[in-house]
Structure 1
Amino acid sequence: MLDNNQLLRFTTAGSVDDGKSTLIGRLLYDSKSIFEDQLEAIEKTSKRKGGEGIDLALLTDGLRDERDQGITIDVAYRYFTTPKRKFIIADTPGHHQYTRNMVTGASTANAAIILVDARHGVVEQTKRHSFIASLLQISHIIVCINKMDLVNFSEEVYSTIINQFESFSSKMLVKDVRFIPISALLGDNVVNRSENMPWYQGSPLLHTLETLHISSDINKVDARFPVQTIIRPQYGDFIDYRGYAGRIASGVFRIGDEVTIMPSGFSSKIKSINSFKEELSEAFAPMSVSMTLEDDIDISRGDMIVRLNNKPEAVQDIEVMLCWLNNKSAKPRAKYSIHHANNVQKAMIKEIIYKIDIETLNRDIENKELNMNDICKVKIRTTKPLLVDSYRDNRATGSIILVDDLTNDTVAAGMIF
């Protein structure tokens, strides 16, 4: 029965020490998703640190530095299952300098849990993480107002924070925002309903996660197949085989479909579709397959096979919403490598159109300096055209990363609009 459960991927985010790791530990502990040896190890570590009871945050804070400092540095992934649904959790860092890790953890999420410390209310990192979640078009945002036990479970504090968040989020494109008052430390409204907050009539967090509607973020209409490699066996009956292998980014391909190879523009028909074990009559995203065509066409890595009358836009000047991830500032007209699907080209940031003021979400057109964690709209010029769709229509072909050629560091991630 569990094998047929829907899978929900969600990420946790918020400012440092808001209780993200403790919340996940509480979810795992109260839903009985912890193995006995894990529980024993946590109990021993908790005693060694001199704490009272079990430190549930240790379930996700696995790195030695994280345990010593009591903070999350890397993205920690955890898996658990209930009778109603399977879950993959990405526990992301709260520190300002690790915002780039939050972008990584949230990039594949169906929902985002934004934690707010009831004592401090909405702070800068709350706004930053919420805005990134909206940029990544995460369908559901659950605002968990944590540490309600430290404000005497006050409904007034809860209502004030809701007003703070709503006045800020009204400028974001988020379909579904929900608010839950919790105490991750004590377990109030995490798995079980809180007896300390009878004024809250909504569902606990776990029930909310189990009943969220999951909509697929895969584009089923626009057929896009970025070619990753060419398969040319040099033995036996396959010596004449020439297959184009990769992962289907979106849409459906069938044997006999008329297709166009971009950027060359040559057309052909699909002759066969092969998976690792068998020949298929059709394939769809996100399957990894190898295709053969009826005509012998020169195709290489980075080319894209698409439907005859449904082609992506080939552009060299691209407007992108960019999250700058590098410690060093972006240099004017500096050269980078841009990675898009399986295509890698040289590129430069031609223009910074505006930066987002995280406090107000207003557009700052005066400040053109791009520093770590800045979010901005830029114009990028590439050496050769890229085959792009908008991120809103197709995540796989609407996203890019920029890499510094000298250090090989990923300096930015972007969404094409």
Structure 2
Amino acid sequence: MSGDDVIYKVDDLIAEDIDQYLETHQHKTMLRFITCGSVDDGKSTLIGRLLYDSKMIFEDQLAALESDSKKVGTQMGGIDFALLVDGLAAEREQGITIDVAYRFFNTEKRKFIVADCPGHEQYTRNMITGASTADLAVILIDARKGVLVQTRRHSYLCHLIGIRNIVLAVNKMDLVDYGQATYERIVADYAGFARSIGIEGFTAMPISGYQGDNITALSENTPWYSGPTLMEHLETVEVNSARDAEKAFRLPVQWVNRPNLDFRGFAGLVSTGSVKPGDEVRVLPSGKTSTVTRIVTLDGDIEEAVAGQSVTLCFADEIDCSRGNVIAVSDNPPQVADQFETTLVWMNDEPLHVGRAYWLKLGTQTVSATVQHPKYAINVNTLEHTAVKTLELNAIGVAELTTDKPIVFEPYAENRTLGGFILIDKITNATVAAGMLHFSLRRSQNVHWQALDISREARADLKNQKPAVLWFTGLSGSGKSTIANLVEKKLARMNRHTFLLDGDNVRHGLNKDLGFTEADRIENIRRVGEVAKLMTDAGLIVISAFISPFRAEREMVRTLIPEGEFFEVFIDTPLAVAEERDVKGLYRKAREGTLKNFTGIDSPYEAPVSPEIRIDTTRTTPEEAAQLIVDTLLGDA
């Protein structure tokens, strides 16, 4: 054999080894887990130790870690493993975790993504973020301190979010001389609490993240402990994907794949169950059925798709299916509803606005949703149910929720993908809450749309006009009612069919039960918006004159009205000018403190950003303003 042949043979062997390694690595299971607990329980140190012991630290990283450890000083002069995870400057300065830090590592048996969650109560919302996709939670307890308030809080949240694999890691055993009695007392205390919140079982182990006891090998310092090491348990515990594969087939559609006229498929991630060509499936919420003909992937067609795989399904029939729909096994589909009982974890500095419309994102579905007054909030320290009017930052509460159209769902306890959702502020686009659907309300199943023979278009044709909403907004005293009245008179002389909804008039009847708190103002506009929608369905031109101080509610009404039929009319009057007019004496009372929640004084007014019509009342007379509005309306009609 020549020298070249030897080289080629060696290259073939190396390539074969690489292929075998890649094949083995590709089919490893993935475990997502979090570490949580109270402040300074050693979460970041434990993750740093896991990275170190699994040989996932490069030489330059190790050198930097040793250097940084000398700068900050450690309890025993060694490596401060927490510095591997605490990446923010503020975290290193304070020695705490603020944001969720994600790290990837792998062993011969499994791949891991670990989230280091903050222990401070004010960062609870960050902890929820890390827990939302986890299969397992490592709850750390400082052996010197025992079970603390934040230990209970994080345990409750982990159970609430659906994590059923709990590891109770009693850490810093080296600082209590590895005392067995101390360990057993802490485990017994935690077991009592765990039972009270519904945690059916957990795996307890004594560890020292700093010294490495019982992390990857059983420690001689705890001869009385015979359970698994932390790494051994992480490598062998059953992951959610294994359980998900046994459930009924569900695939939320993310994208309709139509590269050419000869191919049409529906792409998404299989959330539960499995599917094969020939299986009969149902598309929800429409309920249409078909048969799977192909399962397409980047690497070609496959004979079966299981939970956790991203695939494209092709159907035998040309049925309607789009993003946000859910493809499910035909004889066991999920539910469809528009009213639910939910648990909400509020994650925003601004409290919940009852009745305000938020975007609800569940899987690939996005709809508008409103939250009713919470039934109660949950005190995670005592598990008491307390009466509340709203939810503040980090609060957990149970409330009913309504969506503007039916969504496909399953209870969160059965399916995280179709049961877990987030709420998004429509104006700021900030995520304000994470939620879990419990069940649909019976009334959502009993109330159905009644088909009507006379259409919206037919009613408008009878009146020979295009329906519209002229939504006047501005400060009290800006001149909304005066200008709105002139607009209606001009339209009436032109034989247009109109109706004027005035803020004061509506509060004498439809909204007489509402006050002027922020929640009541939101409900006031919601009701008026629904009335305006019904009136446009009747073919009318609706003129609405309300302060309507919040952009979110004005945008909510806009979404109720067909595109091109909503005109936001901003009656722009400076506060000082409005106060000078003050024909009702309201500003004077507000300044004196006898009239609370008055817009412009002690309640905010959010001016329109891009109104269809803006009237500057310091430069335009009411007559001129009314003519401008009529010309704009009829010019677009």
Q: Is the 8 A contact 1:116 1:143 kept in 2?
A: yes
- The 3 A distance-change label for structure 1 pair 305 and 58 is same
Residue among 192, 198, 206 paired with 2:231: 206
- The 3 A distance-change label for structure 1 pair 316 and 58 is same
Q: Is the 8 A contact 1:351 1:380 kept in 2?
A: no
Higher helix proportion? 2
Give, in whole Å, the separation in 1 of the partners of 2:175 and 2:382: 29
Residue 26 in structure 1 maps to residue 49 in structure 2: yes
- Gaps in structure 1 of 5+ consecutive residues: none
Query: What are the residue-to-residue correspondences of 1:43-192 with 2, within 5 Å?
Result: 43-51=66-74, 52-192=77-217
Residue among 253, 258, 264 paired with 1:232: 258
| Partner SS for 1:93 | coil
Q: Which amino acid is 2:53 matched to?
A: D
Q: TM-score, normalised by structure 2?
A: 0.61
Give, in whole Å, the separation in 1 of the partners of 2:121 and 2:45: 19
Question: What displacement does 1:94 show?
Answer: 1.1
- Deviation digits for residues 367-412 of structure 1 (CA, Å, limit 9, x no counterpart): 3431222222221110001111112222211111111111111111
- The 3 A distance-change label for structure 1 pair 262 and 201 is closer
Give, in whole Å, the separation in 1 of the partners of 2:354 and 2:208: 47
- The 3 A distance-change label for structure 1 pair 412 and 119 is same
Residue 17 in structure 1 maps to residue 43 in structure 2: no
Q: Is the 8 A contact 1:140 1:174 kept in 2?
A: no
> 2:244 — aligned with what?
218
- The 3 A distance-change label for structure 1 pair 31 and 225 is closer
Give, in whole Å, the separation in 2 of the partners of 1:291 and 1:212: 32
> 2:390 — aligned with what?
369
Q: Is the 8 A contact 1:217 1:395 kept in 2?
A: no
- The 3 A distance-change label for structure 1 pair 243 and 18 is same
Q: Which amino acid is 2:72 matched to?
A: K
Count of residues paired in the alignment: 412
Question: What displacement does 1:50 show?
Answer: 4.2
Query: What are the residue-to-residue correspondences of 1:300-319 with 2, within 5 Å?
Result: 300-319=322-341
> 2:399 — aligned with what?
378
- The 3 A distance-change label for structure 1 pair 225 and 205 is closer
Q: Which amino acid is 1:263 matched to?
A: P
Give, in whole Å, the separation in 2 of the partners of 1:261 and 1:26: 47
Higher strand proportion? 1
Q: Which amino acid is 2:298 matched to?
A: F
Root-mean-square deviation (CA, aligned residues, Å) is: 2.2
Q: Which amino acid is 2:190 matched to?
A: F
Residue among 265, 280, 289 paired with 2:302: 280
Question: What displacement does 1:349 show?
Answer: 0.8
Give, in whole Å, the separation in 1 of the partners of 2:191 and 2:230: 20
- Gaps in structure 2 of 5+ consecutive residues: 1-20, 439-637
Moved more, 393-402 or 188-197: 188-197
Give, in whole Å, the separation in 1 of the partners of 2:153 and 2:344: 13
Residue among 367, 371, 389 paired with 2:410: 389
| Partner SS for 2:125 | helix
Greater RCO (CA < 8 Å, at least 6 residues apart): 1
- Deviation digits for residues 47-82 of structure 1 (CA, Å, limit 9, x no counterpart): 233442211111111222222222222222223333
- Deviation digits for residues 9-43 of structure 1 (CA, Å, limit 9, x no counterpart): 22100111111111112223234432222111101
Q: TM-score, normalised by structure 1?
A: 0.91
Q: Is the 8 A contact 1:350 1:380 kept in 2?
A: yes
Residue 338 in structure 1 maps to residue 363 in structure 2: no
Give, in whole Å, the separation in 2 of the partners of 1:294 and 1:212: 40
Q: Is the 8 A contact 1:259 1:307 kept in 2?
A: yes
Q: Which amino acid is 2:267 matched to?
A: A
- Deviation digits for residues 192-244 of structure 1 (CA, Å, limit 9, x no counterpart): 333444443433322333343445242543222222222333xxxx3242322
Q: Is the 8 A contact 2:373 2:390 kept in 1?
A: no
Question: What displacement does 1:124 show?
Answer: 1.7
Give, in whole Å, the separation in 2 of the partners of 1:383 and 1:105: 29
Give, in whole Å, the separation in 2 of the partners of 1:32 and 1:273: 39
Give the % identical residues.
Answer: 46
Residue 326 in structure 1 maps to residue 352 in structure 2: no
Residue 241 in structure 1 maps to residue 267 in structure 2: no
> 1:401 — aligned with what?
422
Q: Is the 8 A contact 1:272 1:279 kept in 2?
A: yes
Q: Is the 8 A contact 2:325 2:365 kept in 1?
A: yes
Moved more, 14-23 or 279-288: 279-288
Give, in whole Å, the separation in 2 of the partners of 1:42 and 1:202: 32
Q: Is the 8 A contact 1:189 1:205 kept in 2?
A: yes
- The 3 A distance-change label for structure 1 pair 296 and 97 is same
Give, in whole Å, the separation in 2 of the partners of 1:120 and 1:18: 9
Give, in whole Å, the separation in 2 of the partners of 1:85 and 1:273: 27
Q: Which amino acid is 2:312 matched to?
A: S
Q: Is the 8 A contact 2:253 2:325 kept in 1?
A: yes
- Deviation digits for residues 112-157 of structure 1 (CA, Å, limit 9, x no counterpart): 1111122222112111111111123323211112223333333333
